[in-house]
Structure 1
Amino acid sequence: MKFREPLNELIHQPTDFTTGKNFPPPERIKIYDSTLRDGEQMPGVAFSPRQKFELAVALSDIGVDIMDLGFPMAALSDRRALQLIVQGKRKGEIREDLELLVMCRSNPKDIDVTIQTLEEIDVDKNDITFFIFTSGSDLHLKYKIGKTLIKYMGRKESEWLNLPVEFYREANLKMMCDTIRYACDRGVKSIEFGGEDGSRSDLEYTIQIAKSGYEAGGTRYSFPDTVGCFTPEGVDYYIPRIVQEFPGQDIVVHFHNDFGLAGINTIRAMSHGINVPTCTVNGMGERAGNAPLHEVVVGLKILYGITLPHFKYEKLRQLRKMVEEYSGIPVAANTPIIGEGVFLHESGIHTAGMLIDKSIYQVIDPELVGAEIKYVFGKHSGIAAVKAVLEKPANREGLEKDGVELTPELIEAVTLFVKDARQKRTKTDSFINVTEAYYREYEHLGISELRLVELASTIGRLMQEGLFKPKLDNESK
């Protein structure tokens, strides 16, 4: 309906409380998608090369700026996926300005193998960004990669636990910077770099990693919340200092979602000047996943008034369904913004309000994300909603053709019937079986520990008898 007063005089808008921040200009923001690498690391998910190519086309179309393709030297199928994607760029199926990125450990051998892999599939290293990563927290430095650092520095492994943290910090910087310089010497032009577990690292050491990486020839620093423990207050502690130290530089944040905070933490980091947020479609990723693409881009637009140029918000739900199909992982119906149920209304009170004006109970315009408002009728439905639907001209005409008169008694009877029908459905075996079937299927997306041991036993016996030849990689189509 048409309100007598302007809507902003009747209610506060979210942006009333989010102005005055240090967000970068929209044109400087680069959406960095990691669905094809970190998203695929979600247990049970394995995209084929063709699926990765089709997802890359969809991601290019929706408007992401950077695409993480993982470790092409690790598997033949990943090399094939990279080859298809690069060919797609050459043919114009994928945007020419879409940046493609591969990952390397801080090891010159990784650089050599990656360059060799790219050459084998006819990909120019100058068309690819190399992400050279190491560790950032003292926990990781000493106890995860400590033996690697000891070997790199020519020390004895027996010294591992006795050497101080300072040794590992210095060794880590040397190893990372040596690798960056080596990549530069091999002709790599675009180098992202960073240390895992940044959100639990010493801030001054984090700054040192970034400074050293830039001085060695790195072109973009990446700061991660690897274990998903960041709070907005933690973001406020680390990010302003990092941005202050490197004014004008593109800086990446890569946050995990173990407490459901990755999306808002990412936006919080951007409010301090970060311009390269990492996301995944549907929030896919290890453990609880990564910052969901839909939460970040739509949150920026509606809650903070930041519209991303050229981003096709209306394709978010279409992209959601594509990733669900290819991954085998559906999102919950009440997933914010893209869930199948977030624009459905059943409650009588809510439906009555929505029938007056959608702004009464809804902030997100469903058309923005490729959805529409729908009404379902059941336990919580009221007479007003049933009446409003039945009184629509097309519906009333249909009833009249059937010889049915729309009366208050009929409306009440229909309302009572749908309430009762929905109540009974909750008790049926078929309704319960849907949930059970989902979790049964989810358990079999990957191979369980028990099944792995059984396979090892069977394959081991066959190998002993010369009846099994290992095939280490399967290039699926």
Structure 2
Amino acid sequence: MDTTLRDGEQTSGVSFSAAEKLTIAQLLLEELNVDRIEIASARVSEGEFQGVKGIMAWAEEKGYTNRIEVLTFVDNGLSLDWMTKTGARVQNLLTKGSINHLTHQLKKTPEQHFSDIAKTISLAQEKGIATNVYLEDWSNGMRNSPEYVFQFIDFLSTQTIKRILLPDTLGVLIPSLTFDFISQIKSRYPQLHFDFHAHNDYDLSVANVMEALKAGVDGIHLTINGMGERAGNAPLESTVAVINDYLPEIHINVKETALFSVSKLIETFTGYRIPANKPIVGDNVFTQTAGIHADGDNKNNLYFNDLLPERFGRKRKYALGKTSGKANIEKNLQELGLQLNPEDLKLVTQRIIELGDKKQTVTKEDLPYIISDVLDSQTYQDKITVVSYLLSHSKGMRPSTTLCLDMQGEVIEEHAQGDGQFDAFMNALTKIYKSKKLALPTLIDYAVRIPPGSSSDALCETIITWFYNDKEFKTRGLDSDQTVAAIIATQKMLNVITN
């Protein structure tokens, strides 16, 4: 059962609109093909009511009504009336699974609580609503009051219900306890259907789900991206992958190829960012960074495992940065349909390492710009070097630049203001050249490009067109900062006219 729309929505700051809930419900049941979904808590709000109503109208047409569930309460039938108006047909009744919760929150005896539950189940039957029962705080109940838990399940075994839902409400379980508690219950009540609902407070939710399955639990509750209260719930994407790879005797219908696309849509709807290192769906999960790994992949896929990205509708990537080797670069060149000779490949590798020192990663889309920059730099010898510069841009003051230039061994410093930082840089450069009675080319075009689809920290390629001695020529600069890229292009221009 997926409970993204109910328990997942309890993630701090997350709230789905009615339209979003319908879209997600459709994706969960038809694209991912989960068995059941829990979509709401009864009586929460008018928006929740409209959301459930819209989902149930669609489910009625599709024949999915028995696969859609709503959290309800022991409230003298108010939740059931709410459900009836929405068209929902399966309730997940929230009850107290530990003597601690029962005594201090409800202030009732077990017998009183069981009597109230029996009335609610009977009333649901009259309304044609099927019942599952949540034992809230069940895990603490098993740790601190197991006799109450068994008394409760003894009572439930006499009732007309479909499933008993066992939540680790406060996320207190570790794998060994999960296996022990589920084993006790399954051996004592083999005829009853039990679901396990894990939380992730110790980052053990997937491990706990695996142990529950090994102990014979009949159903599991999961959420997309592990959304949920506090540290969240067991993530559907990781759990599905582990079951498929390590519990082949358990057949599940979830379509792995749809996991990534649904995960990204949920991320968009919620604004709840998926960590880059999150298994299965994180941006970095199928990205090799170390050059030795790319080299190993070229040699009989030495660094592959069973988690092939294609299973989840994804592709393997080879990151470019300061830890990249030639193998990483060659992998990316292959995807772009490019080929370099060994000497040029060595120069490109060195340039990527230099850029990686300033920028965490270099993308595949950056690669053509880097190649262009490197090959362009080979056409002349550096005789003039921009040693250092200070760019200043303050509100209410004109931008200024202090420039230090090495002209074939002579170091000259100059300061100037301008209409922008690069204009100030060019004014300082003009002062230096005028002092040497030298002329600079005329700048006739200035263009900045970033790779398609890149983010704000992408590499910039600045292309400047110059006019000098009756001819036009272009120089390129490459950096993650636009002004720095322009300065690099300008230094190339100085060496072109000097050579």
TM-score (norm 2): 0.68
Deviation, 1:217, is: 2.3
Q: Within 5 Å, which residues of 2 pair with 1:51-450?
A: 51-61=20-30, 62-92=32-62, 96=64, 99-108=67-76, 111=77, 113-121=78-86, 123=87, 128-146=89-107, 149=108, 168-184=109-125, 186-201=126-141, 202-306=145-249, 308-358=251-301, 360-390=303-333, 394-396=337-339, 406-426=340-360
Deviation, 1:131, is: 1.4
Counterpart-to-counterpart distance in 2, 1:107 and 1:386:
64
Counterpart-to-counterpart distance in 1, 2:221 and 2:203:
15
- Greater than 6 Å deviation, 4+ residue runs: 431-434
Matched letter for residue 54 of structure 1: T
CA contact (8 A) 2:157 2:192 kept: no
CA contact (8 A) 2:42 2:72 kept: no
Greater alpha carbon shift after TM alignment, 311-320 vs 417-426? 417-426
Deviation, 1:381, is: 0.7
Counterpart-to-counterpart distance in 2, 1:266 and 1:98:
24
Deviation, 1:391, is: 5.9
Counterpart-to-counterpart distance in 1, 2:330 and 2:159:
70
Counterpart-to-counterpart distance in 1, 2:137 and 2:302:
42
Counterpart-to-counterpart distance in 1, 2:201 and 2:146:
22
Deviation, 1:216, is: 2.8
The structure richer in strand per residue is 2
Deviation, 1:362, is: 2.7
Q: Within 5 Å, which residues of 2 pair with 1:20-59?
A: 32-59=1-28
Three-state SS of the structure 2 residue aligned to 1:243 is: helix
Deviation, 1:141, is: 1.9
Counterpart-to-counterpart distance in 2, 1:332 and 1:140:
34
Partner of 1:459: none
Matched letter for residue 64 of structure 1: V
Matched letter for residue 187 of structure 1: K
Identify if the C-alpha distance between structure 1 residues 238 and 426 changes in structure 2 by more than 3 Å, giving closer, same or farther: same
Counterpart-to-counterpart distance in 1, 2:153 and 2:220:
17
1:238-276 CA distance string (max 9 Å, x none): 101111222243211111110111112112101111121
Q: Which has the higher contact order (CA 8 A, sep 6+)?
A: 1
The structure richer in helix per residue is 1
Three-state SS of the structure 2 residue aligned to 1:69 is: strand
Counterpart-to-counterpart distance in 1, 2:336 and 2:262:
35
Counterpart-to-counterpart distance in 2, 1:301 and 1:359:
22
CA contact (8 A) 1:333 1:340 kept: yes
Counterpart-to-counterpart distance in 1, 2:151 and 2:37:
27
Identify if the C-alpha distance between structure 1 residues 328 and 304 changes in structure 2 by more than 3 Å, giving closer, same or farther: same
Identify if the C-alpha distance between structure 1 residues 388 and 41 changes in structure 2 by more than 3 Å, giving closer, same or farther: closer
Identify if the C-alpha distance between structure 1 residues 118 and 193 changes in structure 2 by more than 3 Å, giving closer, same or farther: closer
Matched letter for residue 58 of structure 1: L
CA contact (8 A) 1:177 1:212 kept: no
Matched letter for residue 221 of structure 2: T
Counterpart-to-counterpart distance in 2, 1:272 and 1:320:
29
CA contact (8 A) 1:253 1:274 kept: yes
CA contact (8 A) 1:67 1:98 kept: no
Counterpart-to-counterpart distance in 2, 1:307 and 1:355:
34
CA contact (8 A) 2:73 2:79 kept: no
Counterpart-to-counterpart distance in 1, 2:272 and 2:336:
40
1:291-318 CA distance string (max 9 Å, x none): 1001111110012225645421100000
1:330-376 CA distance string (max 9 Å, x none): 11011011111100111011111122233534330111111111111
1:43-97 CA distance string (max 9 Å, x none): 10010000000000000111111111222422111111111111112333xx637
Partner of 2:415: none
Counterpart-to-counterpart distance in 2, 1:327 and 1:375:
29
Deviation, 1:417, is: 1.0
Q: Which protein has the larger Cα radius of gyration, Structure 1 or Structure 2?
A: 2
Deviation, 1:208, is: 1.9
Three-state SS of the structure 2 residue aligned to 1:130 is: strand
Greater alpha carbon shift after TM alignment, 352-361 vs 200-209? 352-361
Q: Quote the RMSD (CA, aligned, Å).
A: 2.4
Three-state SS of the structure 1 residue aligned to 2:71 is: strand
Matched letter for residue 58 of structure 2: G
Matched letter for residue 99 of structure 1: R
Identify if the C-alpha distance between structure 1 residues 248 and 416 changes in structure 2 by more than 3 Å, giving closer, same or farther: farther
Identify if the C-alpha distance between structure 1 residues 206 and 307 changes in structure 2 by more than 3 Å, giving closer, same or farther: closer
Identity %: 27
Greater alpha carbon shift after TM alignment, 417-426 vs 187-196? 187-196
Three-state SS of the structure 2 residue aligned to 1:70 is: strand
Partner of 1:445: none
Matched letter for residue 68 of structure 2: L
CA contact (8 A) 1:297 1:308 kept: no
The count of aligned residue pairs is 361
Three-state SS of the structure 1 residue aligned to 2:157 is: helix
Matched letter for residue 302 of structure 1: D
Identify if the C-alpha distance between structure 1 residues 258 and 87 changes in structure 2 by more than 3 Å, giving closer, same or farther: same
Deviation, 1:210, is: 1.7
Identify if the C-alpha distance between structure 1 residues 314 and 353 changes in structure 2 by more than 3 Å, giving closer, same or farther: same
1:152-203 CA distance string (max 9 Å, x none): xxxxxxxxxxxxxxxx33433333333323433x334421113211111122
Counterpart-to-counterpart distance in 2, 1:98 and 1:182:
18
CA contact (8 A) 1:252 1:275 kept: yes
